[in-house]
Amino acid sequence: MLEQVWFPLVITLKIAAISTLIVAILGTIISYILARREFMGKWLVDVLVTLPMVLPPTVTGYLLIMLLGKNGVIGKVLFDLTGISLLFTWQVAVIAAFVVSLPLMVKTTTAAIEAVDRDFEYAAFTLGRKELETALFITLPLAKKGILAGVVLSFARAVGEFGATLMVAGNIPGRTNTMAISIYSAFQGGNNELANMLVIILVTVSLLSMAITARLVNRWKI
């Protein structure tokens, strides 16, 4: 029983942590561009980033297979060059978690950055600060509550990811069986005791992450 609980928990937290780190970095960059830039095709970027939020997870998973499979646009090139296939690995589960959680990060962070008074940025510019410096030391710190909220939502989404992960990574015991997939598998197999234990652990992890974040946010005055 311990092994049936321990591995899914570890692999889930590992996948969620890595995907959230990537989401936090790329999501913040994309959000800043969407909030502070006007360019041709901006609406298209916004739509493409948001799309996984409205698509069924199985459709997102299928599209990832079309991209990352051995005959996929990206997967074929990778396999021909290195002999590596991403499908049915924990690494592709990270990609799936990244794709489905990125919209939450971008939407939340973009709104937070747009809410920052641009007068602060203009003041920094008049003092000779470059845009990168202003973004790093003025804009993003002022939007930190929204950014943190986006990170937490992305982490929670990654922890609970099921459909897309099942499509691209499968349910391989000891390799890709995340908490969500293990809960489904245990329920389907009639092992309600294991399913209940996994559900309690998953809910506890989610509640703890949100509680810690709320405490941190409440400490920040700005």
CB 104 within 8 A of CB 114: no
Query: b/e per residue, 138-160, with b = 16+ CB within 10 A?
Result: bbbebbebbbbbbbbbbbbbbbb
* Amino acid making up residue 136: L
pTM of the entire predicted model: 0.91
Q: Which CATH class is domain 2-219?
A: mainly alpha
CA-CA distance, 107 to 163, in Å (whole number)?
A: 22
pLDDT digits (tens, 9 = 90+) for 158-212: 999 999 999 999 998 889 999 999 999 999 999 999 999 999 999 998 888 778 7
Closest CA to 31 of 133, 138, 166, 139: 139
Q: Helices 144-160 and 2-36, interaxial angle, to 10°?
A: 140
How deeply is 15 buried, as exposed, middle or buried, from its count of CB atoms within 10 A (0-12, 13-18, 19+)? buried
CA-CA distance, 50 to 35, in Å (whole number)?
A: 15
CA-CA distance, 22 to 6, in Å (whole number)?
A: 25
Contacts of 93 (CB under 8 A, 6+ apart): 11, 15, 161, 165, 168, 169, 176, 178
pLDDT at residue 29, rounded to an integer: 96
pLDDT digits (tens, 9 = 90+) for 128-164: 889 999 999 999 999 998 999 899 889 999 999 999 9
pLDDT at residue 220, rounded to an integer: 61
Q: How confident is the model at residue 70 (pLDDT cuts 50, 70, 90)?
A: confident
Task: Compute the mean pLDDT over every residue in the chain, rounded to the nearest whole number.
Answer: 90
Return the domain boundaries, the chain: 2-219
pLDDT at residue 212, rounded to an integer: 77
Q: Helix or strand or coil: residue 16?
A: helix
For tokens 């990609």, name the residue: 95
Q: With a cut of 90, say whether residue 83 has pLDDT above it.
A: no
Q: With a cut of 60, say whether residue 222 has pLDDT above it.
A: no
**Among residues of the chain, what percentage have pLDDT more than 70?**
96
Q: How confident is the model at residue 221 (pLDDT cuts 50, 70, 90)?
A: low
